[in-house]
């Protein structure tokens, strides 16, 4: 049954992989409203990918294990909804696009999920063209995935998910195998999708500099728990105070903290270098 609620609603989620000794996620609660852009970060092994798997039903439907609590995405109870049905509501982009591309040309890969759903051929063609156009790789549709660069492969993987027209897309470190410039291209695609479509976006990412200014919410995890969750500026300022947190706090935030402690700067924590530059210009003009 579909009910009106937040895009993602997680209540008291505790999860233990099959044969694992201890739970990986512990009593996790999280609400992400429709249309939000949530950024998730935290040290390696803290459970970010596991959380992503809970959102599209890979957990528990493929991984098994022991799951307690409730997960709702787009109003659907993940535990009770078959993964094939969930795929039209929530799409997951992995670190490694090769996991998503397995045919001999891009167009066929993008059509694959729709063919499985029995979508009519005309509609498949329309959606494939639309998805490739949105991610900007229409010219690559006849190419084999292994002929593409890493960035092009990741765009093809995003097109595969888009073709299913989900209302939520979850990106699990989509740029970790890419160089900074190519990574920026992927972040631009994510920003464009959010602008053009009525989407809820969740991005797991270490490179907070690139995305914090675009996010409506920043979620920091550690040891299977959410330790900070809220407006990015506020959360980063708090994280900078607690340097024991193992997250990649952007250098503008750390610099701002030091200069504030020295009494040189005051005011809002900057999220971008241009915000920082504006504050410094203010100080220089003042003196
Ligand atoms: N399939 C699995 N079976 C058993 N344990 C697993 C499985 N996948 C992950 N784990 C364990 O769960 C914990 C959390 O892993 P997860 O991959 O969710 O972390 P992560 O935050 O995504 O880390 P990274 O930043 O390195 O991607 C780790 O201790 C990991 O070893
Ligand atoms: Mg991971």
Which of 112-126, 161-175, 255-269 shows the lowest per-residue confidence on average (mean pLDDT)?
A: 255-269
- Cβ of 65 less than 6 Å from ligand 1: no
What Rg value do the Cα atoms of the chain yield, rounded? 20
Question: Would 208 be classed as within a structural domain?
Answer: yes
Cα–ligand 1 centroid distance for 42 (angstroms): 12
* Residue 161 CB contacts under 8 Å (≥ 6 apart), including other chains: 91, 92, 93, 100, 169
- pLDDT for residue 287 is more than 70: no
- Tell me which residue range forms the domain holding 133: 8-231
Give the mean pLDDT of the chain.
92
- Cβ of 45 less than 6 Å from ligand 1: yes
- Cβ of 53 less than 6 Å from ligand 1: no
Q: How many domains does the chain have?
A: 1
| Residue 191: its H or E element | helix 180-196
Q: Torsion-angle region of residue 90: left (phi > 0), alpha (psi -120 to 50) or beta? A: beta
CATH number of the CATH domain containing 193: 3.40.50.300
What confidence score (pLDDT) does residue 248 get? 79
What confidence score (pLDDT) does residue 269 get? 87
């Amino acid at each position: 049954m579909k009910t009106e609620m937040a895009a993602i609603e997680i209540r008291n989620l505790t999860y233990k992989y099959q044969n694992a000794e201890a739970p990986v996620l512990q009593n996790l609660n999280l609400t992400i409203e429709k249309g939000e852009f949530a950024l998730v970060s935290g040290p390696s092994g803290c459970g970010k990918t596991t959380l992503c798997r809970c959102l599209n039903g890979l957990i528990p439907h493929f991984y098994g294990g022991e799951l307690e609590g409730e997960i709702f995405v787009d109003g659907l109870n993940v535990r009770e909804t078959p993964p094939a049905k969930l795929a039209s509501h929530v799409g997951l982009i992995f670190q490694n696009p090769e996991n998503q591309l397995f045919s001999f040309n891009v167009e066929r890969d993008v059509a694959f999920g729709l063919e499985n759903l029995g979508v009519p051929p005309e509609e498949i063609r329309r959606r494939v063209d639309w998805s490739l156009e949105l991610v900007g790789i229409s010219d690559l549709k006849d190419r084999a995935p292994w002929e593409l660069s890493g960035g092009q492969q990741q765009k093809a993987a995003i097109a595969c998910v888009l073709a299913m027209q989900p209302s939520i897309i979850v990106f699990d470190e989509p740029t970790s195998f890419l160089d900074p410039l190519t990574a920026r291209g992927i972040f631009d695609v994510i920003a464009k999708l959010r602008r053009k479509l009525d989407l809820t976006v969740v991005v797991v990412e270490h490179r907070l500099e690139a995305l914090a200014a675009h996010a409506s919410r920043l979620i920091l995890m550690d040891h299977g728990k959410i330790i900070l969750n809220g407006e990015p500026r506020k959360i980063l300022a708090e994280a900078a105070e607690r340097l024991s947190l193992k997250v990649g706090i952007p250098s503008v935030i750390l610099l701002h903290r030091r200069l504030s402690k020295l009494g040189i700067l005051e005011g809002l924590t900057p999220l971008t270098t241009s915000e920082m530059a504006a504050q410094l210009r203010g100080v220089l003009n003042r003196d």
